[in-house]
Structure 1
Amino acid sequence: MLLQTFCHIPGVGEKIERRIWEEGITTWEEALGYPALEKIVPSKFSRSARSFLYRSLQKLEGGEARFFKEHLDTHDHWRLFPHFQNDTVFLDIETTGLNPPQDYVTAITIFDGKRIKTFIQGINLPEFKEEIMKYKVIVTFNGKCFDIPFLEQHLGIKFPHVHLDLRFILRSLGFRGGLKACEKAIGIDRGDLRGVNGYTAVLLWQKYREGCPEALETLLAYNVADTVNLEKLMVFAYNEKLRNYPFPQLSLSLPPKKIITPYQVHPEILKEINHEYWRTVSQKEVKV
């Protein structure tokens, strides 16, 4: 919906943007060809509006997502998604806990809509720094509060990307709860990973460190599921946001239902971990 966006122009808010649409002007090119554009835009900004639209076209053609990040309010960044879809990466991390530097990253998965890449502590984690800079837009769930700050502190890198955090985009649409709750609300089924959560991921890493390779594979399968499901949520959220605007023709097709992942879930490992967890809880209750 970026080409239909005018609220990034200095002096143009949502009300004026809707007035522009009501005049039958629905794209930047139409606006540039509209002789009375200056009468719609506040006089203080009217002279610069046209040149700003020319500049916007140039920035879009040059793939400069950061320009729009800087000139759009954060709650409107979702409008960029289709135009930078080929430069978008979905990201999720697993950690040993919530508090760096005591806790650390165990795995990172990124997914660009076609390829899945995983980065694992002690194996190839340093490669993430170079790989993530190939993209312009990052999509996460709660990444603004957790994933990105954790990575910045743990890996010592800064992220110049446009960051679309689905936690807040979905909340604006009335969805509450964590990632799994939002997935369930739109019909995503986790299959063998149903019921697995972030704490399970911590226990899987511990079991891997104790010498169980199947635990690592299950952890990575979980991390991949967290990541690839973000694409479905992003497309869903974009289409739902679009319902509030007069451009139904801009809706996106949902991605394929199933992505083939490179890792296998080992249900017996999950069962074993679950048994060990409840045994530990029971022992603590007895001591108390």
Structure 2
Amino acid sequence: MRIENSFIPVRGVGEVTERRLWENGITHWEEFDGSVVGETVADRIETFIEEGWDHLERGDVSVFADALPAASRWRLYENVREETCFLDIETTGLDASCNDVTTVSLHRDGETKTFVNGRDLTARRLASELEQSSLLVTFNGQRFDVPFLETCYDLDVTVPHVDLMYPCKKVGLDGGLKAIEQDLGIGRDMPDLSGRDAVRLWNEYERGDDSALETLVEYNRADTKNMEPLLEIVADRLHESVFETACQGE
């Protein structure tokens, strides 16, 4: 599903109205003809579509992200797939005011980068990577990863953000990232570790064990890369349940 299939970012258009449009054959912006809805809402939709094309031509999906509910921002992905940045961090604890970020991994367009505290993890590096991204994808990052980075590195993360936890819940996938991966058969090439293990590994690295850092980085990278197939699966399920069933009149 693409942004051009969406009408709920328009003020006054909710899921019920959007579904009615789809059921009446208006499944794309190009098909909108002012029917099905009242004159006021039709004017808003026409204005939204006209301005929306301009935003898409510039590769800017921020205006749509701001207008979409958190559980519906998965709709942005197909339009900016190659510019989507999957991000995950590891820390020494849960409180950004007194704990540190240890590693940050970013996966975009088939390439994964990991930055390590004390080596190459800097505010400038992070800001540069985020500036190159049209969409940010995390798991529970809205409440944890992004605020943690903003606090520790004085960043203002404005990249449109999909927190996978919310669309996962919409298709009945609850629990943490690794539990959901197991439910969906998304595998890992390393032993199962936890956030507590990540703290332990960092402490061992600081005491001189370089192999502990290698394991921590591998763990962090697995978390980050596995969000891509997870988003693909969840987006396919939501596309079918939200969009295709309406288009088929079910």
- TM normalised by structure 2 equals 0.92
Q: Determine if the alignment matches structure 1 residue 154 to structure 2 residue 152.
A: yes
1:75 and 1:189 map into 2 onto residues whose CA distance is 25
| Aligned amino acid, residue 136 of structure 1 | S
Residue from 53, 58, 62 that aligns with 2:54: 58
Q: Could you tell me whether the CA contact under 8 Å between 2:174 and 2:180 is conserved in 1?
A: yes
Offset at 1:175? 1.2
Answer whether contact 2:139 2:164 (CA < 8 A) is retained. Answer: yes
| Separation in structure 2 between the aligned mates of residue 49 and residue 224 of structure 1, nearest angstrom | 41
- Determine the structure 1 residue equivalent to 2:238: 241
Cα offsets for 1:65-116 (capped at 9, x unmatched): 1111122222221111110112210000011111122210000000013111
Higher relative CO (CA 8 A, sep ≥ 6), structure 1 or 2?
Answer: 2
Task: Give SS of 1:8's match.
Answer: coil
Output the CA distance in 2 between the equivalents of 1:84 and 1:204: 35
1:129 shift after superposition: 2.3
SS at match of 1:40: coil
Distance in 1, matches of 2:98 and 2:243, equals: 50
Aligned positions of 1:200-215 closer than 5 A: 200-215=197-212
Which letter maps to 2:242?
Y
2:143 and 2:166 map into 1 onto residues whose CA distance is 11
What SS does structure 1 have at the residue aligned with 2:8? Answer: coil
**Per-residue deviation, 1:176:** 1.5
| Aligned pairs, number | 242
Secondary structure of 1:92's partner? strand
User: Which residue among 219, 224, 229 is the counterpart of 1:227?
Assistant: 224
Q: 1:178 & 1:231 partners in 2: Cα distance?
A: 15
The amino acid that maps onto 2:232 is V
CA distance in 2, matches of 1:103, 1:223: 17
Distance (whole Å) between structure 2 residues aligned to residue 151 and residue 190 of structure 1: 26
Aligned-pair distance for 1:202?
A: 0.6
Match of 1:185? 183
Query: Using a 3 Å threshold, how does the CA distance of structure 1 residues 211 and 82 change in structure 2: closer, same or farther?
Result: same
1:197 aligns with 2:194: yes
Any conservation in 2 of the 1:11–1:41 contact (CA below 8 Å)? no
Corresponding residue of 2:133: 135
Provide the residue aligned with 1:15 in structure 2: 16
| Residue 164 of structure 2: aligned partner | 166
Q: Aligned-pair RMSD on alpha carbons?
A: 1.5
Matched with 1:284 is none
Q: C-alpha separation between the residues in 2 aligned to 1:60 and 1:41?
A: 25
In the TM superposition, what is the alpha-carbon distance from 1:53 to its structure 2 partner? 1.0
Question: Which of these two proteins has the greater Rg computed from alpha carbons?
Answer: 1
**How much has 1:245 moved relative to structure 2?**
3.0
Report if aligned partners of 2:70, 2:163 keep a CA contact under 8 Å in 1: no
Contact 2:85 2:106 in 1 (8 A): yes
